[in-house]
Amino acid sequence: MHTNQDIIVLIGMMGTGKSTVGAHLAEATGYRLLDLDAMIVQRAGYPIPQLFAEQGEAHFRDLETAVLCEALRMPGSILATGGGAVLRERNCREMLEHGWVVALSASAETIVARVGEDSGRPLLAGGAQARVEALLAERKHAYDFAHLTVDTSGKSPDKVSAEILMHY
Ligand code: S3P
């Protein structure tokens, strides 16, 4: 185990398997699973598409930062973040300070196959394939700060989880 890093933070684009792999990691480690999107929805009182539509993305990002900082103060956690949680530099610094940061990656094809066209993800509205490719290009290096990067394409969540724990 890494000193002072008993929080495993999963980052990566939508559809890279953060929530699913997070559940496997929680099972394997006995840590609690914290899903940042779910915590935001609980805090806001309504679902993410509605949050984006009615309050705007900036408000969503503010909530995301607040909830992230709280979650990072709960040792013994697997923290599955949303794909955009890395967009604020402050968030990345907090993650590196309090957790062991693992980036999950996947090809555009894999991501589209996993999230589909109608995924409740406002940033993919209006055509998943094109939007995924654009976001992947935009965020090309956004996840590079992680301590470890694991490609998830063609791998089961169990395999990804085992690969992560080999390095832990
Ligand atoms: C987002 C990813 C989503 C969710 C929101 C914005 C993003 O989470 O937080 O729709 O900006 O990439 P997932 O990565 O869990 O889909």
Q: State the distance from the centre of ligand 1 to the C-alpha of 48, rounded, in angstroms.
A: 9
Q: Which residues have CB under 6 Å of ligand 1?
A: 14, 18, 37, 48, 82-84, 121-123
Q: What is the pLDDT of residue 115?
A: 85
What is the number of the ligand 1 atom nearest to the C-alpha of 139?
Answer: 12
CATH code (residue 71):
3.40.50.300
Q: Kindly state whether residue 148 falls inside one of the protein's structural domains.
A: yes
Residue-wise DSSP of 28-46: HH-PEEEEHHHHHHHHHSS
From the list 151, 152, 149, 153, the residue with the least C-alpha distance to 167 is: 149
Residue 55 structure tokens: 């309050």
Spatial neighbors of 50 by CB under 8 A, at least 6 apart, are none
Residue 14 placed within a domain: yes
Our count of domains for the chain comes to: 1
Query: Does the residue 1 lie in any domain?
Result: no
Instruction: State residue 2's pLDDT score.
Output: 54
Q: What is the mean pLDDT of each run of 10 residues along the chain (168 residues)?
A: 77 96 97 97 94 95 98 97 97 97 95 78 80 92 97 96 96
Mutate-to-test residue for ligand 1 from 14, 16, 48, 111, highest number of ligand atoms within 8 A of CB: 14
Look at residue 119 in the predicted model and tell me its pLDDT: 63
Q: What is the pLDDT of residue 97?
A: 96
In the prediction, which pLDDT does 116 show?
A: 75
Residue 2 lies in a domain: no
Task: Report if residue 108 sits inside a domain.
Answer: yes
Nearest residue by C-alpha to atom 9 in ligand 1: 82
148: three-class secondary structure by DSSP: strand
The domain containing residue 101 runs over which residues?
7-166
In this prediction, residue 118 carries a pLDDT of: 59
Instruction: Evaluate whether 36 touches 126 at the Cβ level (below 8 Å).
Output: no
* Ligand 1: centre distance to CA 12 (Å): 9
What's the pTM? 0.95
Q: Whose CA is nearest to atom 11 of ligand 1?
A: 84
ipTM of the predicted structure?
A: 0.98
